[in-house]
Structure 1
Amino acid sequence: MSLSRIADSFPTFRTILVVSSLLRLGLILYSEWHDKHSKVKYTDIDYRVFSDAARFLLRPSPGNIAQGPLGTQLGFGDPYTRSTYRYTPLLALLLAPNEWVHPSFGKYLFAGCDILAGVLLYRMLSDRILPRFAMHTSPKNRGDRPEAGSRAALAAFLTSLHLLNPLVFTISTRGSSESILSLFVLLTLYACLKESWDTAAVLLGVSTHWKIYPVIYAAACVGVIAGRGAYSGWIGRFVSAKTVRFGLLSAGTFFALGGAMYLVWGQPFLEHTYLYHLSRLDHRHNFSPYFYSIYLTYPSSFSSSAPSSVQKLLRSPLTSLGPQMTLSIGAGLLFGMLGGEEHLPFTWFVQTVVFVVFNRVCTSQYFLWYILFLPLLIPRLSWSMTRFTSSLCFATWFGLQGLWLAEAYKLEFLGENVYFGVWSRGIIYLLGSVGVLTVIVLRYAEARGES
């Protein structure tokens, strides 16, 4: 059965929006009851960190003063007084109503960003993705392409894959701030699809300030702009007035926001928001292929000897940063130049998958970063991937996680010494994810060739 036929029997977007909102509202209300009656909390520990940071920011004291040049004049406290707060002070400011409105205000804010992201996905599908999708004519696949009357239904169905995704709505209602970043990223993408490059550059700067990883999308944007240039040679294409303007606006926004934060909160802002991640040594088990080497060489209070050169290499962030950034930025430049702005959802998806699976730390929460783009890719993939191929990719992705989780359960809950087993399954997850991504890239290229 084609996507269009499935969508025609699906509820309207307004219905999906109402159901999604009520679902999130119910989970937030339930979380308040659950946390009062259970030792195992529904609310994520990060939400408590955010709330504490907001409290420290609003209540300065002799040991809690913003350390920037303007900090004392403005009368702000230091959110970094709360240990493990590694985010921009803007997040703590946004959650200030937790103190004077309601402790769950932040959860409602995050859930609201989820809903707004769904609205934006629907707009992109309705206004940009599906009209272009329907414009292409291929006798072989014409039956799978929606007519104008069914585009709204198909857009609603695809958006529901985000709004009704359990991973999405549980993470936001538990108090994770990922939905804010997702909204910024989608706003940036929407501006790119409309070829509003100045707006996109500013939004990319905001996104990168919020969390550093969206900087990889600059490569794809520059690739698209360069690919449309009338200049000869690689240097002429990549170093043009348009690409330089995009880079200056994006970088200028990032540094302007960072400079403002530094003026108020000083060195702790730089240290905890950015520099910490360059020196971070996370030896806890996760999907990353680097976790076991960090675990084996992690500094111990029982060892007084200086680390060897091998240990330094294994601990160095450059060990993972090199291949990670080379692959993600390289993919952005290549696919950006070859595809144009209409293929940016696919390009950003590929970049994000590569960035996540090769990251020094890889947890299920990071999967949200690339799952976000799937509703925008499915229309084109649907008429290049057979039902068997798509089912195989889907089953492989979930199966790889199940394989890893089964071993991680022994470590986390049974206390068994299975660190090597967890790591080996992480390697299998990496190889399997790269295999699934390769299939998607090849099928997408096939679909692009037919259009």
Structure 2
Amino acid sequence: MTLNGHGLLRALSSFNNILLISVAIRIGLILYSEWHDARSVVKYTDIDYRVFSDAARFVLQPSVGNHAQGPLGTWFSVGDPYTRQTYRYTPLLAVLLTPNHWLHPSFGKYLFAACDIVAGILMYRLLVAIVLPSITRTKASRRPSTEESVEDAESSISRQASLLSAVHLLNPLVFSISTRGSSESVLSLLVLLTLYFALKGKWTRTAILLGISTHWKIYPFVYGVACLGVIGSERGAAKGWKGYVGSVVNGRTVRFGLVSAATFVGLGVLMYAIWGYPFLYESYLYHVHRRDHRHNFSPYFYLIYLTYPFEGQPAEELPIWRHVLRSPLISFLPQMVLSVGAGLLFGRRKQDLTFAWFVQTFVFVIFNKVCTSQYFLWYTLFLPILIPQLSISPRWAVLYVAVWFGTQALWLAEAYKLEFLGENVFYGLWVRGLIYVVGHSWVLAGLMQAYRG
């Protein structure tokens, strides 16, 4: 069966068709969410969206108990988004969502859905302009010349890019999360923009966008390691350990690091000047010592749950061993060693940058002390761009997908008993969390083995 002979594939081979379908799905789901939420106790809209909206309202409505606490807060005459408990994001998110209160309550959902669409457009452009032409040239150099015209080659690339972009644009996990009101799509777009300019060799723009992405959510800072390796390798092959050090630490890499750090610090100083210590604590410091004993995919939750202080017992009275198990370093050290190490190992060539970021993010999520389904978007974001560089048989591809989904389903089945039935299944949930770690690690190892850069 050829691509042109199948109606669905023929429709999906047109990027414009994919865009139209993607937009229609998202608009339809947002309209449905308004109808559903008005009639059902169980809401379609994510609780986080209500948190964002409340924070935006507090920004718009300063009062005696609600005002920006930074030195410039009074001058700007804005409220404090952190007046809303559990709001632990950059104030920029609350500012972006202020139209929720003077334009339409679903403005934020449309904004997040639009970020999804723009991210898909960026993927398509990356595939058409950089990724697929490079692979096509490599394959052409390994086989006898053919009579395939330039137009045929461009048409083939466009069809492949459209189908690969559909992996993101028509992904139910992606469009359901954004239309429910999660802000992950904003970060995804920032990260993709960073990758876009990195693959084009625009390192100053890359550094600025990396700083902005890290301000939005801290984890993208690990991508800087791979960027420094690529920038350093552009000087030529490094000989010996001195040559390697010289490739990592030189004028170009130092400039990249300074521009990125200045962007991150500059944004932080501005936010602090307006919103003061609440911004610093809620956006960054809270996450350093956060001890989330609620169930999530990470197996660390059970250690935290077992060592959480009893009601009325001060943390200072806990035994030393419980302090050790509760320490953020228990998860932070292996997470950083693996994530930063992957950047150092794979971040040596520009064409390997997508793969390096994918691996860095995958291990970061697996070994994070808190992990929910939304975190999986952090690394699946790179798959449409990475798939052309993977050599996997259909049988192994199905097996990887089955294990990836299967380990999540196994955990979710047990989590349902705890969340909705109130059964004491903490130990069983922890065991399934370990299975999730092993299963996803196995999938990552398989994808790393299948990579053909």
TM-score bracket for the superposition, by shorter chain length: over 0.9
Task: Report which stretch shifted further, 100-109 or 220-229.
Answer: 220-229
The residue aligned with 2:371 is 362
The alignment status of 1:398 with 2:400, answered yes or no, reads no
* Structure 1 residues not aligned, in runs of 5+: none
The residue aligned with 1:14 is 16
CA contact (8 A) 1:8 1:150 kept: no
Partners of 1:52 and 1:334 in 2: CA distance: 43
CA pair 3-261 structure 1, distance change in 2 beyond 3 A:
farther
SS in structure 2 opposite 1:120? Answer: helix
Partners of 2:230 and 2:341 in 1: CA distance: 13
**How do 1:285-324 residues align onto structure 2 when only pairs under 5 Å count?**
285-304=295-314, 306-324=317-335
The residue aligned with 1:204 is 210
The alignment status of 1:374 with 2:376, answered yes or no, reads no
Bigger relative contact order, structure 1 or 2 (CA pairs below 8 A, ≥6 apart): 1
CA contact (8 A) 1:124 1:190 kept: yes
SS in structure 2 opposite 1:360? Answer: coil
The residue aligned with 2:437 is 430
Partners of 1:158 and 1:226 in 2: CA distance: 31
**Which digits, 9 at most, give the CA deviation of each residue in 1:164-186, with x for residues without a partner?**
10000010000000000000000
Amino acid at match of 2:29: L
CA drift at 1:217: 0.5
The residue aligned with 1:80 is 82
The residue aligned with 2:111 is 109
The residue aligned with 2:450 is 443
CA contact (8 A) 1:345 1:376 kept: yes
CA drift at 1:347: 0.9
Partners of 1:4 and 1:347 in 2: CA distance: 35
User: How many pairs align?
Assistant: 438
The alignment status of 1:334 with 2:339, answered yes or no, reads no
Amino acid at match of 2:91: P
**Which digits, 9 at most, give the CA deviation of each residue in 1:108-150, with x for residues without a partner?**
100000100010011001111100010112459x9xxx93321
SS in structure 1 opposite 2:311? Answer: coil
Partners of 1:2 and 1:84 in 2: CA distance: 52
SS in structure 2 opposite 1:442? Answer: helix
**How do 1:95-174 residues align onto structure 2 when only pairs under 5 Å count?**
95-137=97-139, 138-139=142-143, 147-174=153-180
The alignment status of 1:190 with 2:196, answered yes or no, reads yes
TM-score, normalised via structure 1 length: 0.94
Partners of 1:77 and 1:84 in 2: CA distance: 16
CA pair 188-2 structure 1, distance change in 2 beyond 3 A:
farther
Partners of 1:289 and 1:238 in 2: CA distance: 35
CA drift at 1:348: 0.6
Tell me which of 415, 418, 441 is aligned to 1:408. 415
CA pair 271-109 structure 1, distance change in 2 beyond 3 A:
same
**Which digits, 9 at most, give the CA deviation of each residue in 1:307-338, with x for residues without a partner?**
1111111111111111101100110111002x
CA contact (8 A) 2:11 2:18 kept: no
CA contact (8 A) 1:8 1:154 kept: no
Partners of 1:395 and 1:268 in 2: CA distance: 43
Task: Report which stretch shifted further, 6-15 or 106-115.
Answer: 6-15
Task: Report which stretch shifted further, 165-174 or 227-236.
Answer: 227-236
Partners of 1:110 and 1:54 in 2: CA distance: 15
CA drift at 1:156: 0.6
CA drift at 1:5: 9.6
* Structure 2 residues not aligned, in runs of 5+: 147-151
| Identical-pair percentage | 60
SS in structure 1 opposite 2:440? Answer: helix
**Which digits, 9 at most, give the CA deviation of each residue in 1:26-57, with x for residues without a partner?**
11011111111000001100000000000001
The residue aligned with 2:64 is 62
SS in structure 2 opposite 1:136? Answer: helix
CA drift at 1:3: 9.1
CA drift at 1:227: 2.1
Partners of 1:226 and 1:414 in 2: CA distance: 55
Name the Cα RMSD after superposition: 1.8
CA pair 2-297 structure 1, distance change in 2 beyond 3 A:
farther
